């Protein structure tokens, strides 16, 4: 089963967390993950993916303009019926990562995606809206991001079956 991660990263931190999420996804059998920065998306792979995770750095308490622009220009990209999830990186707890995530969740809903995070139903770590890594605890956040990836992959298998590769 194919799963995609699409992100923008200026400093490399968001890219690094995309790779950690991918590692969590790949820990399940029969999972193939495409990791794409906004400039190098394999749209054929994306169309075959059952889940798409979007990653953004947080700027001025919101998502980066590059992700917003991608959604604004993605009218011909079919995402409906796919699992959609979001993660963010931020410098500070008060930096607005939740607002950045909610901005993208709005786009996922408009695109007809099945928004998923695992929430509190999965137990610790609680990932209510999406995974967030702050500058102060970046390295310590990696296990949570790996679990986030595992949860998304498990939900994709549950919904779409492991035979759909």
* Strand bridging mode 62-63 / 51-59: antiparallel
Residue 93 has pLDDT above 90, yes or no: no
Contact 88, 130 (CB under 8 A): yes
Backbone φ, ψ for residue 134 (5° rounding)? -100, 155
CATH of 2-160, one of 1.20.1580.10, 3.40.50.360, 3.90.1150.110, 3.20.20.370: 3.40.50.360
Strand partners, 56: 88
pLDDT score for 164 = 47
Mean pLDDT of the region 137-163? 93
pLDDT score for 48 = 97
User: What is the chain's Cα-based Rg?
Assistant: 14
Residue 109 has pLDDT above 50, yes or no: yes
pLDDT band of residue 163 (cuts 50, 70, 90) is low
Residue 119 has pLDDT above 70, yes or no: yes
Mean pLDDT of the region 103-113? 97
- pLDDT cut 70: percent of the chain above it: 98
pLDDT band of residue 121 (cuts 50, 70, 90) is confident
For 33-72, how does the pLDDT look when each residue is reduced to its tens digit (9 = 90+)?
Answer: 999 999 999 999 999 999 999 999 999 999 999 999 999 9
| Domain spans, the chain | 2-160
Report how far residue 83's alpha carbon sits from residue 55's, in angstroms, rounded to the nearest whole number: 14
pLDDT score for 95 = 84
Report how far residue 100's alpha carbon sits from residue 1's, in angstroms, rounded to the nearest whole number: 28
Mean pLDDT of the region 135-150? 96
Q: Which residues of 16-52 are buried (b: 16+ CB within 10 A; e: fewer)?
A: bbbebbbebbeebeebebbbbbeeebeeeebebbbbb
Residue 162 has pLDDT above 80, yes or no: no
Nearest to 34 by CA among 56, 55, 12, 53: 53
Give every CB contact of residue 93 below 8 A, 6+ residues apart in sequence.
134, 136
């Amino acid at each position: 089963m194919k799963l995609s991660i699409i992100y923008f990263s200026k400093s490399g931190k968001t890219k690094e967390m995309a790779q950690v999420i991918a590692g969590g996804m790949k820990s399940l059998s029969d999972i193939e993950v495409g990791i794409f920065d906004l400039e190098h998306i394999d749209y054929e792979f994306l169309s075959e993916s059952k889940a798409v995770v979007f990653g953004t750095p947080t700027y001025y308490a919101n998502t980066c303009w590059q992700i917003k622009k991608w959604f604004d220009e993605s009218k011909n990209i079919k995402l409906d019926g796919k699992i959609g999830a979001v993660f963010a990186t931020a410098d500070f707890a008060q930096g607005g990562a939740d607002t950045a995530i909610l901005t993208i969740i709005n786009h996922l809903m408009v695109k007809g995606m099945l928004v998923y995070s695992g929430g509190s139903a999965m137990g610790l770590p609680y990932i209510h809206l999406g995974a967030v890594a702050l500058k102060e605890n970046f390295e310590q956040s990696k296990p949570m991001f790996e679990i986030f990836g595992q949860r998304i992959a498990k939900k994709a298998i549950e919904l779409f079956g492991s035979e759909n590769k």
